[in-house]
Amino acid sequence: MSNRVEKKIKEPFIRIEKRADLSSKVKWLLYTSAFFTAIVVGGIFLLAVGVNPLKAYGKIVEGAFRSKMAVEATIKLAVPLLISSLGITLAFKMKFWNIGAEGQIIMGGIFSTYFALFHADWPHFVLMTVMLLAGILGGGLWAVIPAWFKTKYGTNETLFTLMLNYIALYLIKYLTEGPWKDPEASGFPKIASFEANARLDKIFNVHAGWLIGLLLVLAVYAYLKYTKQGFEISIVGESQNTARYAGMNVKGIVVRTLFLSGAICGIAGMCQVSGAAFTLSEGVAGGVGFTAIIVAWLARLNPFIILVITAGFSILEKGCSVMQSTFGISTAVSSILQGIILFVILAFDFFSSYKLVIKKQKKGGAKNDY
Amino acid sequence: MKKVKRLLAVLFVFTMLLSMTACGTKESEKEDSTSSNSADSDFKVGVIHIGDPADGAGYSYTHDQGIVAMQQELGLSDEQIIRKNNVADSDAAATRAAIEECIEEGCKLIFGTSWGYMDTMEELANEYPDVMFSHGTGYKSNGTNFNNYFGRIYQARYLTGIAAGLKTKTNKVGYVAAMGSENSEVTGGLDAFAMGVESVNPDAKVYVKVTNSWYDPTLEQQAAEALLDLGCDVLGQHCDTTAPQLAAQNRGVWGCGYNSDMTKDAPEAHLTAAVWNWGVYYTMTTKAVMEGNWNCENYFGGMADGLVDISPLSDNCAEGTQEAIDEVKAKIVDGSFQVFEGELQDNQGNIVCKDGEVLDDATITGGINWYYRNVVVQ
């Protein structure tokens, strides 16, 4: 580009520029320092609210692991996060920004709750299988809606999937206060608790969702890495035109992938209603669908790293809950602490891919052209 | 690099396993020490709050004041009280996680203060027979380790109704109700309030707006605004926050709060509130569980027990309110006056309690699904 054009464009004082890929060594250094910076910044906050940070962090780690029951609780928190992060990964790999995991979890929950409420007398194995399939269908269809509109009318998937979250949430509200309201709850709007037959079995004292989650880690990894469909996803994600030139049915791939993405989130919903809550309530997704985005992103869409990061998140959440009651501090403090830690890590993550370039004083000094 | 990642993952799993076993042994040691030394200093009480006691007013605050009173009375240390705050009772998984965390902490007695915790507590009571569960404002119990506690707050509501009836100039009294007529607790309380209004002001009507939520500051405020728009100049409430009182104050009119004395929150509007002294129950129950002689019966205390009362009348009250209330209060305490004594007529013209009869407790807690004759539903 000529100098003349460059002069016309006013260069901002600071601009964001993509970095060349950092070497693995530097990356690891960056993430390690991110972790420690997060701990330090969080510590300053704790100090400011009058809590000894060393004790608090000790309590967080202890709280997540102090007993068999605590570990089980941590795993229970991890299950929906792990599964929905894996679900999101499929869509993100295709650069389809599905931020509707929350709604897909809910729809999976709603679909499987139908069978738990009205067909609780079916043989246990049959009922569980049907509930799982219902969860898959519910979440999958909910994700297909924005995918179909995107391929047909080019709608913005970010907004579309986001909006569908609220529709799903209000659908629960409607069912809770309307057709599925527990008649024995003397007016309190709630859906009846599932009968024992409609509850997910426990394996090692935690509902089977953890096993489903681990199997999905392997399945998603294998699907993306070794199957033709997984290859198609990454090609569509890199460039839709390339995919088209290669004769791929891009629309079909988008709809199919979103179905799978939503279906996996739907499984998370099924596990929550039948394994953790034993009923369908407004808190069934509880923000997990949004946290899952961060997990998938931080893990660079690698299923195994998702497992590790999910574990980290769950430990933090469970530990913070214990810290809150131990020190008698407000729940807001532990939420803020989690927010700070996350924010610092995300900031470091951002700077691993981008850098800020401060405007050079000398005219025409900028190396990069536009 | 892959190796490092793998190594880290393995390390992570390893530390997880290690801490599992390490904690496992710690726990068993702890159990040994409790059995050999059954000192009260090991006794832990868990409390599940729907809001945050730090709000300084309203439902969770009032319950927590009761817990604090119990703690002082029985000389428990801060470490012996485990509070889980902001536990949404519409989120069954979160409710379960919070209660399980109390069990994990070693709590032997757990108070759940909101209606929606009931079913989860019932289930956990069966899963953990060694832990005592006491659930507020519901109706279920199992006779061994799960009971219910509540009180005759309708007695206090009747008295606040007197204050409202004497104060209103438009003869329109508003009432923000958490639940609709199918909920006996809310409806009975509202009826008692309406009877109190009628006893001093037969011309006044009580207009009701239902929020369908126990705790929702926004909805409560919107309901209050709607009632004020109708011309109501005194607002009663059965919901958890101070929002209706603040809305009344903004319009320069008055209100009767609930749970805690809301005069400090809305000094220019507040007349008197129906209040709970939960400490009466929490102290009694905790002491009994600690001494191992808890009977696990459902509890339904009243004004005579000191469980319910009204807050001191503010200067906003009409002249003569104190005298009118004192007279009825004395009769309630000595038992010569029953709020739900016939003849009672609902707003459809049906007789719901015959002359000379008194509604029994089962009806009061679970069977009042009618509105008193001066109630208008909006």
Work out the average pLDDT over B231-241. 93
**Single-letter code of the amino acid located at B99:** I
In the beta sheet, which residues pair with residue B309?
Answer: B275
Question: Which residues from chain A sit within 8 angstroms of residue B9, using beta carbons?
Answer: 304, 307-308
Mean pLDDT of chain A, nearest integer: 89
Nearest by CB to residue A67, choosing from B24, B78, B84, is B24
Looking at the complex, report in whole angstroms how far the Cα of residue A58 sits from the nearest Cα belonging to chain B: 13
| CATH number for the segment(s) B42-151+278-301 | 3.40.50.2300
CA distance B348 to B343: 15
Question: Which residues from chain A sit within 8 angstroms of residue B103, using beta carbons?
Answer: 69
Q: Token pair 């330090």 is at which residue? A: A40
- CB B24 to CB A281 under 8 A? no
**Residue B109 in this model has a pLDDT that exceeds 60:** yes
- In Å, the largest CA–CA distance within chain B is 86
Question: Which residues from chain A sit within 8 angstroms of residue B105, using beta carbons?
Answer: 322, 325
Looking at the complex, report in whole angstroms how far the Cα of residue B35 sits from the nearest Cα belonging to chain A: 19
Question: What dihedral angle (degrees, nearest 10) is formed by the CA atoms of B162, B163, B166, B168?
Answer: -120
When comparing pLDDT for B34 and B314, which is higher? Answer: B314
Q: Token pair 């290859």 is at which residue? A: A231
Domain positions in chain A are 77-313
Closest CA to B236 of B153, B300, B331, B118: B153
Q: Token pair 């009772």 is at which residue? A: B89
In the beta sheet, which residues pair with residue B341?
Answer: B358
Confidence of residue A7 (pLDDT cuts 50, 70, 90): low
Contact B44, B97 (CB under 8 A): no
Closest CA to B302 of B181, B164, B157: B157
Q: Chains A and B: how many Cβ contacts under 8 Å?
A: 125
Work out the average pLDDT over B187-216. 93
Looking at the complex, report in whole angstroms how far the Cα of residue B163 sits from the nearest Cα belonging to chain A: 29
User: Residue A283 is encoded by which pair of tokens?
Assistant: 């808190």
**Residue A8 in this model has a pLDDT that exceeds 60:** no
Q: Do domains B42-151+278-301 and B153-273+311-377 have the same CATH topology?
A: yes
User: Residue B143 is encoded by which pair of tokens?
Assistant: 């006779």
Architecture of domain B153-273+311-377: 3-Layer(aba) Sandwich (3.40)
Alpha helices in chain B (DSSP H): 2-36, 59-74, 92-104, 118-127, 153-167, 184-200, 217-229, 243-250, 279-291, 321-334, 361-366
Contact A232, A244 (CB under 8 A): no
Element housing B261 (H / E): none
- CB A272 to CB B19 under 8 A? no
The residue of chain A nearest to residue B27, with distances taken between CA atoms, is A67
**Residue A133 in this model has a pLDDT that exceeds 90:** yes
CA distance A276 to A209: 9
Confidence of residue B361 (pLDDT cuts 50, 70, 90): confident
When comparing pLDDT for A334 and B14, which is higher? Answer: A334
Helices B118-127 and B92-104: crossing angle in degrees, nearest 10, is 40
CA distance B266 to B252: 11
- CB A305 to CB B5 under 8 A? yes
Per-residue pLDDT at A9? 62
Confidence of residue A234 (pLDDT cuts 50, 70, 90): very high
- In Å, the largest CA–CA distance within chain A is 79
- CB A286 to CB B115 under 8 A? no
How much of chain B, in percent, has pLDDT values that exceed 70?
90
Per-residue pLDDT at B193? 96
Looking at the complex, report in whole angstroms how far the Cα of residue B23 sits from the nearest Cα belonging to chain A: 5
Q: Token pair 């509200």 is at which residue? A: A173
**Residue B7 in this model has a pLDDT that exceeds 80:** no
Q: Write the DSSP string, A116-181.
A: HHH-TTS-HHHHHHHHHHHHHHHHHHHHHHHHHHHHHH---HHHHHHHHHHHHHHHHHHHHHTTTB
* Candidates B52, B55, B78, B104, partner chain A, best to mutate (most A CBs within 10 A): B104
- CB A286 to CB B93 under 8 A? yes
Q: Is A75 helix (H, G, I), strand (E, B) or coil?
A: helix
Other Cβ atoms closer than 10 A to B79:
11
Q: Which of A191-200, A265-274, A356-365, B142-151 has the lowest mean pLDDT?
A: A356-365
**Residue A340 in this model has a pLDDT that exceeds 70:** yes
Per-residue pLDDT at A24? 81
Nearest by CB to residue A286, choosing from B19, B91, B212, is B91
The residue of chain A nearest to residue B45, with distances taken between CA atoms, is A325
Q: Is A366 helix (H, G, I), strand (E, B) or coil?
A: coil
Query: Is 0.85 exceeded by the ipTM?
Result: no
CA distance A129 to A120: 13
- CB A67 to CB B23 under 8 A? yes
Q: Is A18 helix (H, G, I), strand (E, B) or coil?
A: strand
Q: Is B307 helix (H, G, I), strand (E, B) or coil?
A: coil
Looking at the complex, report in whole angstroms how far the Cα of residue A308 sits from the nearest Cα belonging to chain B: 7
* Candidates A325, A326, A335, partner chain B, best to mutate (most B CBs within 10 A): A325
Q: Token pair 């998370």 is at which residue? A: A268
Per-residue pLDDT at B137? 85
Each residue's pLDDT tens digit, B272-286: 999 999 999 999 999
The residue of chain A nearest to residue B214, with distances taken between CA atoms, is A188
Nearest by CB to residue B91, choosing from A76, A188, A281, is A281
When comparing pLDDT for A84 and A364, which is higher? Answer: A84
The residue of chain B nearest to residue A24, with distances taken between CA atoms, is B1
Other Cβ atoms closer than 10 A to B242:
28
Each residue's pLDDT tens digit, A314-339: 999 999 999 988 888 888 888 898 88
Contact B111, B47 (CB under 8 A): yes
Q: Which of A151-165, B50-64, B128-142 has the lowest mean pLDDT?
A: B50-64
Element housing A345 (H / E): helix A331-353
Per-residue pLDDT at B151? 92
Query: Phi and psi at residue B115, in whole multiples of 5°?
Result: -50, -45
Instruction: Give the pairing of strands B44-48 and B81-84.
Output: parallel
Per-residue pLDDT at A35? 87
Per-residue pLDDT at B20? 40
Looking at the complex, report in whole angstroms how far the Cα of residue B322 sits from the nearest Cα belonging to chain A: 35
Each residue's pLDDT tens digit, A178-208: 899 988 776 678 899 999 999 999 998 899 9
**Residue B222 in this model has a pLDDT that exceeds 90:** yes
CA distance A193 to B92: 9
Domain positions in chain B are 42-151+278-301, 153-273+311-377
CA distance B287 to B284: 5
Nearest by CB to residue A73, choosing from B26, B100, B119, is B100
∠ CA A164-A165-A171, nearest 5°, is: 85
**Single-letter code of the amino acid located at B236:** G
Q: Token pair 């703690």 is at which residue? A: B71
CA distance B163 to A1: 82
How much of chain A, in percent, has pLDDT values that exceed 90?
64
Per-residue pLDDT at A362? 53
pTM of this prediction?
0.81
Per-residue pLDDT at B47? 95
- CB B54 to CB A330 under 8 A? yes
**Residue B11 in this model has a pLDDT that exceeds 50:** no
**Single-letter code of the amino acid located at A140:** G
Per-residue pLDDT at A325? 87
Looking at the complex, report in whole angstroms how far the Cα of residue B137 sits from the nearest Cα belonging to chain A: 12
Confidence of residue B39 (pLDDT cuts 50, 70, 90): low
**Residue B31 in this model has a pLDDT that exceeds 50:** no
Q: Which of A183-197, B18-32, B252-266 is predicted most confidently?
A: B252-266
**Residue B271 in this model has a pLDDT that exceeds 90:** yes
Each residue's pLDDT tens digit, B289-320: 999 999 898 999 999 999 999 999 999 999 99
